[in-house]
Amino acid sequence: MEVGMLPISASKRGKLLAAGYTSLHSISRASASQLATDIEVSEDEACEIRKYASQTSALDRSIGNSSNTSNLYGGQTAWTMLNEEKFSTRITTSCVDLDNILGGGITCKEVTELGGVPGIGKTQIGIQLAVNVQIPLEYGGLGGKAIYIDTEGSFMVERVLQIAEACIEDMPEYSHHFHNNVQDCEVKMHPNSILENIFYFRVCSYTEQIALVNYLDKFIEEHKDVKIIIIDSVTFHFRQDFDDMALRTRLLNEMALKLMKLARKFCLAVVLLNQVTTKYIEGSYQLTLALGDSWSHSCTNRIILFWNGDERHAYIDKSPSLKSASAAYSVTTRGIRNSNSSCKRIKMV
């Protein structure tokens, strides 16, 4: 039984998740004063939340005992999983059309792969998500921080500042598109604080990349407000200097498994940016995402970015919970936004 089932308001559930309280046990273990500080409520409210958590946890145990069931460590019921999905948190992409096909944005507790040709906007989407994860709770965001792992040297801090400034300016306007219950209030964020909340790591080899992924568990334990990990790109160092392809596959699978565990353990989103390669299919060479067929099973969601004429599109190629669909998006000076054609359609309505 998880936080989503507590009989408290949705805003308080969101604050609990954003503060890293992803299980009833973690709530019960915290003191009332610590809980009150972390989710910005009174100590009386914190005591009430802890009481609900204890009661719900006890009820869950009694139901499990009466049914003579015993779960392995880490196991959960399908009912619990369904309720988790109902209350799963998402990070907006700032493109309404793209968010719509994603069910509201990039989902936490999942690994999402975005791949496409150079210039399609992969890094731009990564930077946008690193900024948007910091949208405050009162605007329907997570109020979290980001880890950005740069393997190619494509991270541009000037571009981050530009997108951060636009995010703050547009927040009152586009937050209503994603969260209708948001009330108008003064935005107190500053672009510099957004930059301070992005933890940047530059890695220059596949061994450094693997070592960093292994270190992330400890790092996030010390920075529990991290709500997204972005690797740009996951591919780069694994496409060079690898004669032993079996070793490469094993290393990639181990890394993917660790990233999945981080996503579940800390209720955060993992976004892996991927490159493209050519593959011989039905008598001709076609573009496909890099790292081979086995890698395609390592992510929860796979989104392919492509050009349709002079317009960028995103296509959901694989997902256990989302239907296949595509949406147009634009890379603008202000970041990721709806495509020009979508804006024209909106104006005509």
* CATH code for the domain in which residue 236 is found: 3.40.50.300
For 168-178, the pLDDT digits (tens) are: 998 776 555 54
**pLDDT interval class at 62 (50, 70, 90):** low
What gap in Å lies between CA 219 and CA 213, rounded to an integer?
10
Is there a single domain that holds both residue 150 and residue 44? no
pTM: predicted TM-score of the whole model, two decimal places: 0.74
Nearest CA-CA partner of 146 in 22, 258, 231, 212: 231
Number of neighbouring beta carbons within 10 Å of residue 57: 16
CATH of the domain at 16: 1.10.150
For 6-52, the pLDDT digits (tens) are: 778 777 877 887 677 777 778 888 888 888 888 888 998 889 888 88
What gap in Å lies between CA 144 and CA 152, rounded to an integer?
25
**Enclosing domain of residue 48:** 2-60
For 295-332, the pLDDT digits (tens) are: 777 889 999 999 999 999 999 999 988 999 999 999 99
The residue ranges of DSSP E strands in the chain, in sequence order, are 90-91, 106-107, 111-116, 145-150, 198-202, 226-232, 269-274, 276-281, 284-289, 301-308, 311-318, 326-332, 335-338
**pLDDT at residue 282 in the model:** 72
Number of neighbouring beta carbons within 10 Å of residue 18: 23
Q: How many domains does the chain have?
A: 2
Is there a single domain that holds both residue 157 and residue 304? yes
Query: How many residues does the structure list for the chain?
Result: 349
Q: Decide: helix, strand or coil at residue 325.
A: coil
Q: In this structure, which amino acid lies at residue 240?
A: Q
Q: Decide: helix, strand or coil at residue 246.
A: helix
Is position 230 within any domain?
A: yes
